[in-house]
Amino acid sequence: METAEEANGDKKLLELVDVSVHYGVVVALDKASVGIHKGEMVAIMGPNGAGKSTVLKAIMGLAPVVGGTVYWRDRPLAVATHEIVKQGISFVPQGRRVFTHLSIAENLEMGCLHLEDRVEKQRRLDSVMDLFPVLYEKRNDLASQMSGGQQQMLALGRGLMASPDLLLLDEPTLGLAPIIVKEVFEKVKEISDKLDATIFVVEHNIKGVLAIVDKAYVLANGRVVHYGTPDSIRDTDILTRVFLGQASEE
């Protein structure tokens, strides 16, 4: 089967080149370079404080980038944060952050506020509810009445309402029970397969995320120390060394 790199001539949909992010004297990213091809699902992993979520925030313009460049379709991504969704990038932050005082249907519509075409908005709403039957069943309920797992499904669905070319997921299984974690991973995999979605996922559940992604970056102290297939990570001791603070850039 042809790989994404072969199909695209190694042309990346999105790429961070030597990106550095500083929060005062704290270096969150140190000349980090990561990228993703169309149709891929790529994980970003590492210990707490490694810079995983900062990668996504740098893409979204939510982090103070002091060096390097974020490229989108081979051009520098230089638009305001609130305009990035119009470029085809959707961000699902950790912690779900649903609007508890709104219904599920209203929450979903918040994912495409910029869209004025009511017919297209309804088409997207129907498509998302088809992908998430529980959202259809509870569409008129307040989001506050949903369980944590259901709220995560709602957050994923809201991210898809923008019909994104790239979906950014920050810790989608954080704080969920093991049985719900399994359901979330299965749903993310289904999104990837059914929609041919391009997904960057930051995730602390190493075993679970390696089972569904095509490639993965391992970060330590804001630097990329490994990039490869899930097997390339399983076959080395890179994660052990990273979590013990013994990894250096490869």
Q: Give the model's pLDDT for residue 10.
A: 74
Asked whether residue 185 is domain-assigned, the answer is: yes
The total domain count for the chain is 1
In 3D space, the residue among 34, 74, 26 whose CA is nearest the CA of residue 55 turns out to be 34
For residues 94 and 106, the answer to whether their CB atoms sit within 8 Å is: no
Percent of the chain with pLDDT over 90: 72
In a domain, 204, yes or no: yes
* Structure-token match 């790199």, residue found: 5
What pLDDT, on a 0 to 100 scale, did the predictor assign at position 1?
A: 45
Q: Give the mean pLDDT of 231-239.
A: 90
Indicate the range of 97-106, 111-120, 226-235 predicted with least confidence. 111-120
Domain CATH for 85: 3.40.50.300
Whether residue 249 is contained in a domain is answered as no
Cα 69 to Cα 18, 60, 66, 250, distances in angstroms: 7, 12, 9, 21
Residue 37 lies in a domain: yes
Task: Render pLDDT for 8-45 as a digit per residue (tens, 0 to 9).
Answer: 457 899 999 999 999 999 999 999 999 999 999 999 99
Phi-psi region of 218 (alpha: psi -120 to 50; beta: other; left: phi over 0): beta
Which residues form the domain of 222?
A: 4-243
- pLDDT-based confidence at 243, cuts 50/70/90? confident
Residue 250 has pLDDT above 70, yes or no: no
Question: Considering the domain boundaries, does residue 250 fall inside one?
Answer: no
Nearest Cα neighbor of 16 from 2, 4, 33, 28 is 33
pLDDT one-digit tens code per residue, 139-189: 999 999 989 889 999 999 999 999 999 999 999 999 889 999 999 999 999
CA pair distance 63, 100, nearest whole angstrom: 27
Q: Specify if 17 maps to a domain.
A: yes
Q: Which residues contact 155 (CB under 8 A, 6 or more apart)?
A: 92, 96, 97, 98, 172
DSSP 142: B
Does the CA dihedral 210-212-213-219 come out positive or negative?
negative
User: Is 14 a member of any domain?
Assistant: yes
Element (H, E) at 82: none
Cβ-based neighbours of 142, under 8 Å, separated by 6 or more: 100, 101, 102, 103, 104
CA R_g for the chain: 18
Kindly state whether residue 46 falls inside one of the protein's structural domains. Answer: yes
